[in-house]
Amino acid sequence: MFGRMGTMVYIDLTERRVKKEPLPNYLYEDYLGGAGVNARLLYENIPPEMDSLDPSAVVILGVGPLVGTIVPSSGRIEITAKSPVTGIFGDSNAGGDFGPELKFAGYDHLVIRGKAKEPVYLWIDNDQIEIRDARPLWGKSTWEADELLKKIHGDRELKTALIGPAAENGILYGTVIINRYRACGKTGMGTVFASKNLKGIAVTGSKDVKINDPEASEEIVEKMMKAIKSHPGFERFAAYGTMLIQHSYQAHGKLPVKNRQEIGLPEDLFARLSTQAFDKVKVRDLACFNCPVHCSSWHEVTEGRYQGQKGEKPEFVAVAAFGTNLGNYDMNSVCFFQNLSNQYGIDMMEFGNTLGLAMEAYQRGLLKKEETDGIALEWGDQDAIETMFFKTVRSEGSGKVLGEGVHRLTKRLGKEAEGFTTDVKGYGHSWGDCRSSLLWGLAYGTASRGGDHLKSFPAIDESGRKDLALQLFGTELAANPQSEEAKGKANAWFENYSAVLDSLGLCKFAFTWIGLMAADSKFPDLIAEALTAATGTPYDGKRLLQCGERIYNVEKAFNVRCGLKRKDDYLPLRMLDTPAPAGPRKGEILRPIYEKMLNEYYEARGWDQETSIPTSQKLKELGLEDVDQDLAPLRKPGKA
Amino acid sequence: MGACYLVIPEMTSVNIKFYMGIESITGSGHETFSFQGNTLGELVSQLIGRYPSLKTCFEERDGLEPAPGISILVNSREIMWLEKMATRLSGGDEIVFLRFVSGG
Ligand code: SF4
């Protein structure tokens, strides 16, 4: 088999059984690999009523057909399960080099179910797969466990995917940390591992990924590299990665401050979280597997309260989660909290959103000191943030409540909190203020895994690419962040495109943020050519995007079976009904525009306007007759 | 012979920010800048007078325009959706010079 390794592994931790099976044709032809195959397997293996932490529930790891090849930025791994935070579709994706290593060991997907009696880890050394005792690793941070596994196996090059103490202690949004610094952060995949007594996976492999047409592959990769490097901002991306976003947000009036009560910062405060502030601790550049962008870097804090902190560069997510959203304007502390998050295995965004909500509740008098173990939850108080972080990862006192996430805290706080929560489908939404940037706002609302920017990643907004907007969506206005024109169509397109990237194993920063936005990039087609060269199966951009659409519809169908409807695709009240306090649409209300965009989105998707359920016609067009039958009883009488 | 009047354009004072490496060209991250006139084009030509290297962020097409990848925001709106270099400015406006980066 070309491109893929051709093997899936079913692991039952209750029975301690490992079974290898060939990857079925229909899965890789229609769902590509990685996220797509994972989504389909989840749909087939989890009935809607099953709890995400039920021992019979599956958690699936997948790598795509371009992972581990010479295609640039092809090191992604996808983990998929029903989310313990939201109770709906959950998945999470990370870079690094665990994904390629899993492939070099010979596998495309691991489907894990059951619950081990004692903590275990999976040891994968090429053809050999063992369920091993993880008792010595349990309770250890991901960094300590990674180190211990390298010692046990005498291999410094071992690649690991591990959970930390946060998930073990029952926090709902525990992460799976890839090689210490990369996180499958969203939707609590680490908590699902913990529910199975699975500390993680260590893998080493030495097989080759066979390529159908290596010569063509090389030519295409050259074109891809040229396109990626032709982006006028390439050097800046390479130097700072997502840290450029805080500058863009500050300029565009999107930077979330104090749980989104405010937008943007005075320049003297902003400077403390800028790339210049990071320059003081930056040591050298780093990259994921085979990535020319190398958007990461190594930091070392050499002075002050956080002296001695070392690790990979904080992403913008961390700058907002521990910085602006909590009123804390100190880059060194952001480095510290990001390192802690990786060590303890906690989703920074959900923690930052939950603590931000708690701080605003405290400010409003809805939360009292008696309910916070005596801690005054004052904005920017680093001691308070640190104390609450440790209480959360240890599930102690009020930290237990924070460990349940935004949605459950909102419910506990009552009606008033609905006016300032960030809850979308049970998860706190991503950082941009949606009132200033309509397309990203719609993307947060419709994301299948709740409140998220990466399921769509519609980077046309604010890219300046009027020409691309015209080409893809028939109007230049699709690239105007303040126009509602064509936003539904654009969001659907980007969701499909992102599903393709996550399924092939390609990084969105390289292939959307930079690659697609570089002039003349021709990306969907170029990716299709790379897939054709790798696998020998002919693809073009159109077919690829149809696979993306199929994948997104399966994720949607999973959620429809869990009971989700149109009302679940809305942003929270602060974003919809409170006038923007600053930014380009200062004083305006988003709701009427959002309704229009959502209608256009459902139309572009072929989903019912009233219920949001995919129509029978759309599902049949995508070859999803079985899904159509499943959804038929959930449709309103007379609706197809 | 009648009297000869010299019309001196009004001064406008705006808040300027330079981000994403442009501050290393100007040596300044943000400042209040007063210029003669009331359009972005007038502001930019006077800024270039003060910071000659800022010219690298522009190119001549139909007059001076931002170079590829350079974005200019007036009160958080990109000038490509306003009147480009003819965008009118008022006292107290915020003008940010940065690079195109879109992010979630
Ligand atoms: S662009 Fe950054 S995150 Fe993406 S693969 Fe490259 S180094 Fe990793």
| Percent of chain A clearing pLDDT 70 (strictly above) | 100
Q: Which amino acid is at A479?
A: A
**Average pLDDT of B11-37?**
94
Quickly state the pLDDT bin for B3 (edges 50, 70, 90): low
Q: What is the CATH number of domain B11-99?
A: 3.10.20.30
Alpha-carbon separation of residue A42 from A145, A291, B24 (angstroms): 29, 30, 50
Quick count: other Cβ atoms within 10 Å of Cβ A10? 15
pLDDT score of B1 more than 60? no
Helix H or strand E segment including A490? helix A487-504
Alpha-carbon separation of residue A32 from A41, A189, A527 (angstroms): 12, 22, 12
With tokens 């295609």, the residue in question is: A71
Whether B99 and A232 lie within 8 Å, measured CB to CB: yes
Residues contacting A80, CB < 8 A, separation 6+? A35, A38, A39, A41, A42, A59, A60, A62, A90, A91, A92, A189
pLDDT value for A474: 96
Report the candidate in A422, A392, A275 with the shortest Cα–Cα distance to residue A334.
Answer: A275
Q: Are A570 and A445 in contact (CB under 8 A)?
A: yes
Per run of 10 residues, the mean pLDDT along chain A (length 640 residues) is 96 98 93 98 97 98 98 97 98 97 98 98 98 98 98 97 98 97 97 98 98 98 93 91 95 97 97 95 93 93 96 96 98 98 98 98 97 98 98 98 98 98 98 96 98 96 93 96 97 98 96 87 91 97 97 98 98 98 97 98 98 98 98 88
Pairing between strand A198-204 and A120-125?
parallel
Output phi, psi for A591, to 5 deg: -50, -50
Helix, coil or strand: residue B95: strand
pLDDT value for B28: 80
Report the candidate in A424, A434, A474, A444 with the shortest Cα–Cα distance to residue A604.
Answer: A474
User: How many degrees, rounded to 5, is the angle at CA A264 between CA A300 and CA B23?
Assistant: 60
Note whether ipTM > 0.90 here: yes
Q: Are A31 and A37 in contact (CB under 8 A)?
A: yes
Closest chain A residue to B31 measured between Cα atoms?
A267
pLDDT value for A636: 82
Alpha carbons A288 and A73: distance in angstroms, whole number: 7
Q: Are A547 and A524 in contact (CB under 8 A)?
A: no
| Nearest atom in ligand 1 to A291's CA | 6
Residues contacting A25, CB < 8 A, separation 6+? none
On whether any CB of chain A is under 8 Å from the CB of B84, the answer is no
Alpha-carbon separation of residue A496 from A41, A360, A443 (angstroms): 18, 36, 12
Whether A232 and B68 lie within 8 Å, measured CB to CB: yes
- Within the 306-325 window of chain A, which residues sit less than 8 Å (CB to CB) from chain B? 316
Quick count: other Cβ atoms within 10 Å of Cβ A260? 29
Whether A245 and B103 lie within 8 Å, measured CB to CB: yes
Pocket test for ligand 1, best of A291, A315, A504, A511 (most atoms within 8 A of CB): A291
Quick one: tokens of B7? Answer: 């019309």
Catalogue all structural domains in chain A, each as residue range(s) with its CATH number: 7-204 (3.60.9.10), 234-427 (1.10.569.10), 437-634 (1.10.599.10)
Whether A232 and B73 lie within 8 Å, measured CB to CB: no
Instruction: Select from B75, B76, B100 the Cβ nearest to the Cβ of A464.
Output: B100
With tokens 């005054």, the residue in question is: A376
Q: Where are the domains of chain B?
A: 11-99
pLDDT value for B4: 67
Alpha carbons A213 and A258: distance in angstroms, whole number: 53
> How far, rounded to the nearest angstrom, does the alpha carbon of residue A25 sit from its chain's CA centroid?
27
pLDDT value for A115: 98
pLDDT value for B2: 56
Residues contacting A52, CB < 8 A, separation 6+? A81, A82, A83, A84, A87, A90, A188, A192, A195
Q: Within a 13 Å sphere around the CA of A499, how many CA atoms are in the beta-carbon half?
A: 31
Closest chain A residue to B21 measured between Cα atoms?
A236
